[in-house]
């Protein structure tokens, strides 16, 4: 049984074709810059890879058509006909409070997803575009949605409620939802394995640091608090998102600029964060390089990001009481020893002792690595995330009727 995993971003489409029978990834790739200048597809199967540039990649439907053609390609593909793809699993960022677990995509579910897209304006619209394209191109394949927000449904009310008029929650579902759930799920299970304890006995602080950033407190194996909130805008400083700020600021700036709420939302989501601080950079590699060369705004960006992450460590250490491990994951968390070191420095009184040399030498390709000293009471891990594997296994569970909440579902990686 072959399952296609799709992760559609605003201008990208990541994919992975998984053979469930042999438990292997047959091929994977990414389409980048959809609708922008010089869009391209990078594809890799079991023994070869290729890159294609195609100016016709203006929509996610165009991109998925190219992906399907690549899957069928006599040299780079791994299937002979579309009938071999039994199911398609879609990453969906925001499920609101209506989708609390992975689910089959029906017409009713698709309509409801359209209505809640406003909660994640950068993510859910392309997620939906991918779903609609897949249903059109692969009408016989079963479609399953896996939600980033589902993992955080275990948060207690004291953590997910905001101090706002009750009617906002009752009538408009305004509450903390949390994101990057599939990533936090995967690395929390792997951290438990590395600790040699059942997941239900582990207290963890997970730092998913990529272009988007979220920090999650895991108590006894489940999410009890997380930095992202009603939308993915809240929390740590991100590539282009502001993270936490005084809620009066957007109202003030709307009045000062005489602009619209949509314009302010766009500025906070697309023009803020590290890009806002440096006025030119989003990629941490560029920022760190320029900081080393003396660029003061880049230095400030690095210091601000580290400072905000350290604050979240302190809050969640207080929330958990006992911390077994801190876990770094995602693009920056896996590859930037400088960021990891900055966050963990000065936390020895919390029981955190980093192995500095090992930390700086550790990158994603190193695989799962303990980067704290052997004697450190609180362990520090770098664990490469694998959201696609969570997605694949959820799809299989939904389709064969074995799917359950993550504390009882038998994930292979746990």
Find the mean pLDDT for residues 385-396: 92
pLDDT (tens digit, 9 = 90+) per residue, 183-205?
999 999 999 999 999 999 999 99
> CA angle at residue 19 from 5 to 221, to 5 degrees?
60
Mean pLDDT of 266-271: 93
Mean pLDDT for 322-331 is: 96
Q: What is the mean pLDDT of residues 402-410?
A: 90
- Our measurement of the distance from residue 406's CA atom to the centroid of its chain's CA atoms, rounded to an integer in Å, reads 17
Handedness of CA 311, 287, 30, 11 (dihedral sign): positive
pLDDT at 248: 97
pLDDT confidence of 222, banded at 50, 70, 90? very high
Local confidence band at 294 (pLDDT 50, 70, 90 cut-offs): very high
Q: What is the pLDDT of residue 121?
A: 76
HEC-encoded secondary structure of 41-108: EEEEECCCEEEEECCCCCCHHHHHHHHHHHHHCCCCCCCCCHHHEEEEEEEECCCCCCCCCCEECCHH
For residue 190, the surrounding DSSP H or E stretch is helix 181-195
Per-residue pLDDT averaged across 364-379, rounded? Answer: 97
What phi, psi does 14 have (nearest 5°)?
-95, 145
Query: Around Cβ 397, how many Cβ atoms within 10 Å?
Result: 18
Torsion angle, CA of 241/244/246/249, rounded to 10 degrees?
0
What average pLDDT is seen over the chain?
Answer: 93
Q: What are the structural domains, with CATH classification, of the chain?
A: 2-147+391-400 (3.30.420.40), 198-383 (3.30.420.40)
Please report the pLDDT score of residue 3 as a whole number: 95
- Average pLDDT on 221-241 reads 95
pLDDT at 366: 95
Angle of helix 181-195 relative to helix 387-400, nearest 10 degrees, comes to 100
Query: Cα–Cα distance between 266 and 34 in angstroms, integer?
Result: 19
pLDDT score, position 32: 87
The pLDDT assigned to 341 comes to 98
Q: Which of 73, 148, 246, 405 is the catalytic position?
A: 148
| Predicted pLDDT of residue 57 | 85
Distance CA 241, CA 27 (A): 32
Percent of the chain, pLDDT > 70? 100
Tell me what the mean pLDDT of segment 226-246 comes to.
95
Report how far residue 26's alpha carbon sits from residue 46's, in angstroms, rounded to the nearest whole number: 6
252-258: average pLDDT: 98
The β-bridge relationship of strands 49-53 and 40-45 is: antiparallel
Decide if 227 contacts 235 (C-beta within 8 A). Answer: yes
Specify the DSSP element, H or E, that contains 29: strand 24-32
Helix runs in 196-295, H state only: 248-257, 261-270, 273-278, 284-292
Looking at residue 122, its pLDDT comes to: 74
Q: What pLDDT, on the 0 to 100 scale, is given for residue 118?
A: 80
Q: What is the pLDDT of residues 106-143, one digit of tens each?
A: 999 999 998 888 877 778 888 898 899 899 889 999 99
Q: How far is CA 374 from CA 350, 366, 369, in A?
A: 16, 18, 12
Give dist(CA 383, CA 385) in Å, integer.
6
- pTM (2 d.p.): 0.91
Q: What is the pLDDT of residue 56?
A: 83
Mean pLDDT of 212-228: 97
Maximum CA pair distance of the chain? 60
Q: Give the alpha-carbon dihedral of 104, 110, 112, 115, to 10 degrees.
A: 140
Residue with tokens 């504390």: 407
Give the lowest-confidence range in 28-42, 215-229, 258-272: 28-42
Q: Grade residue 355 by pLDDT with cuts at 50, 70 and 90.
A: very high
pLDDT at 307 > cutoff 90:
yes
pLDDT of 223 reads: 98
148 catalytic? Reply is yes
CA–CA dist 277, 275 (Å, integer): 6
């Amino acid at each position: 049984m072959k399952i296609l995993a799709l992760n559609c971003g605003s201008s990208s489409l990541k994919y992975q074709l998984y053979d469930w029978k042999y438990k292997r990834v047959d091929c994977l790739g990414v389409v980048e810059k959809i609708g922008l200048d010089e869009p391209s597809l990078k594809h890799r199967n079991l023994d070869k890879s290729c890159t294609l540039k195609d100016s016709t990649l203006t929509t996610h439907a165009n991109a998925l058509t190219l992906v399907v053609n690549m899957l069928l390609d006599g040299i780079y593909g791994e299937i002979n006909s579309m009938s071999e793809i039994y199911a398609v699993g879609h990453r969906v960022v925001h499920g609101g409070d209506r989708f609390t677990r992975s689910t089959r995509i029906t017409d009713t579910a698709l309509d409801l997803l359209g209505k809640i897209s406003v909660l994640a304006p950068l993510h859910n619209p392309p997620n939906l575009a991918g779903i609609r394209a897949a249903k059109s191109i692969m009408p016989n394949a079963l479609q399953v949605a896996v939600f980033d927000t589902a993992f955080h449904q275990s948060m207690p009310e004291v953590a997910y409620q905001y101090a706002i008029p009750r009617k906002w929650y009752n009538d408009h579902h305004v509450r903390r939802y949390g994101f990057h759930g599939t990533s936090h799920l995967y690395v929390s299970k792997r951290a438990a394995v590395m600790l040699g304890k059942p997941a239900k006995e582990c207290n963890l602080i997970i730092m998913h640091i990529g272009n988007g950033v979220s920090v999650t407190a895991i108590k006894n194996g489940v999410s009890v608090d997380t930095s992202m909130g009603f939308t993915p805008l809240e929390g740590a400083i991100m590539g282009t998102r502001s993270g936490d700020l005084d809620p009066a600021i957007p109202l003030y700036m709307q009045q000062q600029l005489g602009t619209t709420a949509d314009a302010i939302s766009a500025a906070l989501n697309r023009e803020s964060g590290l890009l806002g601080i440096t006025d030119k950079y989003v990629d941490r590699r560029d920022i760190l390089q320029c900081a080393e060369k003396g660029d003061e705004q880049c230095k400030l960006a690095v210091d601000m990001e580290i400072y905000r992450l350290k604050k979240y460590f302190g809050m969640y250490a207080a929330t958990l009481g006992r911390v077994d491990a801190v876990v770094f994951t995602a693009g920056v968390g896996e590859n930037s020893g400088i960021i990891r070191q900055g966050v963990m420095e000065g936390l020895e009184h919390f029981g955190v002792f980093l192995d500095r040399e090992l930390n700086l030498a550790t990158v994603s390709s190193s695989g799962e690595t303990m980067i704290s000293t052997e004697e450190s009471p609180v362990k520090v891990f770098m664990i490469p995330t694998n959201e696609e594997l969570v997605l694949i296994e959820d799809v299989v569970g939904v389709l064969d009727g074995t799917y359950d909440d993550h504390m009882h579902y038998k994930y292979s990686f746990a």
